[in-house]
Structure 1
């Protein structure tokens, strides 16, 4: 009986369904309590280097997992298990209980804040276009793409889509793909003139393949405001205790020598430190 109950209880916990604890069993009050009790947390990621990706050996790594593991250890959670998910399915997957956090360096935007909670940002970065080697169409930013009626590939659910629309890119010029590899492939195959990504992702892809390059310089200013994305970890709306505990640890970490050393191998340095809080991003400041 105890084995069957334990199996069913574990399954229901994964599905986010509450169960009544029998006498002698203490029920975890929050997600934070539960992960501390089990020593494990499942997180969603979307395979985007250098932010969060799986190595050839299947290890979850990148800026976001590295910082998150450090924070989890400080909170008494020894193991972080990754769940590979398409970018556009990260927020739905979190809300459905497939995992307990999004650890993919997701930009904090007002639209996303209406769906999930964000910890304070761990980094800041601009955007860039990946184009064929030699940049035959002379595309550097969204304004060039609009003027030349070029087709641009975007990963579904990314902030770059909204920014391009703000810059005037029509729906007909947008090629929406499920993941970053597909965006890269679209440029190489000639189905898109460029792919819109973060600056670091664009740089990583350009270094891996001589058939493409990162277009520079990239600028995007809308109504007098220059846009720079800042990203962090995402949590379900009810998981305020977990978010607050993570924020407390981040406050003593971000910007320290220890933090900069742990993210240096992924191409991050002091120029990538965040400038705002999650609350400010959620308010559209």
Structure 2
């Protein structure tokens, strides 16, 4: 999921455990990787806008490693049960960069709201966090073409007693809604007239809030909702079918992509060529499927289209 850039998660998060999924261990792992990434950051490679597409790809080949900026969120980039970073974005990055002559990917975990700042301050070499492409962000970074498109879904009590299928349903019934801090879903809900919106640290906290009756619905991306319901094995809540949000009366389908520093068009274009090959052959879906993505999430939308105001 890709919340609006610049908004950061809140503090004071409680620790929860659901059938072996510990938020404390998840966050500790992210913090540890962030420290490791910060240590490796001393070998930053300076880039300048020389107008020739940049030289970062050649520098990465010489070093043999590329640093990925990740936000520690399932299924895009997170800590696996083995304590290592995993997710759809690292899996894609590992294949593409190896084909570009860069043997190793190194994670740099940070808050979502710090990803663009961290990229442009040379803490890492690209953003690999499923970041949504928006015109505002296109003024700060350059995007590869999207690897996925995404609609939303709701976590609701078993049986969906309030029959919540759309954002308008949430507004009409006066249901108490929760979503992630800084998530795009906040704006979609407000657009539909939803009045009662709570923000929570992540989808697991949202699932627990619905289970405990503290909110009536948690809203997130379809793949995030599907994954957390499945992985927790809950019998108290369920995920709804996919939901299409609306802004200014028009349906919205968000897309997520890798982001690079603006001068590095040479690296972005080389990445795009390999990504397009993976999409055409079906390899992209094969890589993403284990993380909960389906054929419906594949897209041919381009970054250029999504960058238009």
Which TM-score bucket, shorter chain as reference? 0.7 to 0.9
User: Structure 2-normalised TM-score?
Assistant: 0.75
SS of corresponding position for 2:279:
coil
- Which deviations, in whole Å up to 9, do the C-alpha atoms of 1:36-79 show, x marking residues without a partner? 22111121223333332221112222222211111100111111
Q: Distance in 2 between matches of 1:211 and 1:236?
A: 44
In the TM superposition, 1:83-122 aligns within 5 A as 83-122=108-147
- Quote the residue 2:21 is aligned against: none
Contact 1:108–1:282 at 8 Å: present in 2 too?
yes
Aligned 1:81-160 pairs, distance under 5 A: 81-160=106-185
Give the one of 222, 227, 232 matched to 1:204.
227
Kindly state the Cα deviation for residue 136 of structure 1 after the two structures are TM-superposed.
Answer: 3.3
Between 90-99 and 32-41, the greater mean CA deviation after superposition: 90-99
Task: Establish whether residue 256 from structure 1 lines up as the match of residue 278 from structure 2.
Answer: no
Deviates more, 1:116-125 or 1:207-216: 207-216
The CA distance in 2 between the partners of 1:63 and 1:238, in whole Å, is 26
Deviation, 1:244, is 1.8
Aligned equivalents of 1:182 and 1:78: distance in 2? 37
Is 1:242 aligned to residue 242 of structure 2? no
- Counterpart of 2:293 in 1: which secondary structure? coil
**Structure 1 residue 61 corresponds to structure 2 residue 71:** no
The alignment yields a C-alpha RMSD, in angstroms, of 2.5
What stretches of structure 1 of length at least 5 have no aligned partner? Answer: 1-9, 19-28
Alpha-carbon separation, structure 2, partners of 1:66 and 1:84: 15
**Higher Cα Rg, which structure:** 1
Of residues 195, 202, 207 in structure 2, which corresponds to 1:184?
207
Residue-by-residue CA offset, 1:141-196 (whole Å, 9 max, x unaligned): 211111122232222333222322332334xx222234333333433343332221
2:98 maps to which residue? 73
SS at match of 1:197: strand
1:255 counterpart SS class: helix
**TM-score normalized with structure 1 length:** 0.81
Give the secondary-structure state (helix, strand or coil) at the position aligned to 1:187: helix
Counterparts of 1:194 and 1:87, CA distance in 2: 23
1:43 to 65, 68, 79: 68
CA distance in 1, matches of 2:215, 2:117: 28
CA shift at 1:224, angstroms?
5.1
Number of corresponding residues? 262
- What corresponds to 1:25 in structure 2? none
The 10-residue stretch of structure 1 (178-187 or 97-106) with the greater mean CA deviation from structure 2? 178-187
**Shift in alpha-carbon separation, 1:112–1:184, aligned structure 2, 3 A:** farther
Offset at residue 202 of structure 1 (A): 0.6
Distance 2:222 2:260 in 1: 25
Match of 1:4 in 2: none
The equivalent residue for 2:240 is 215
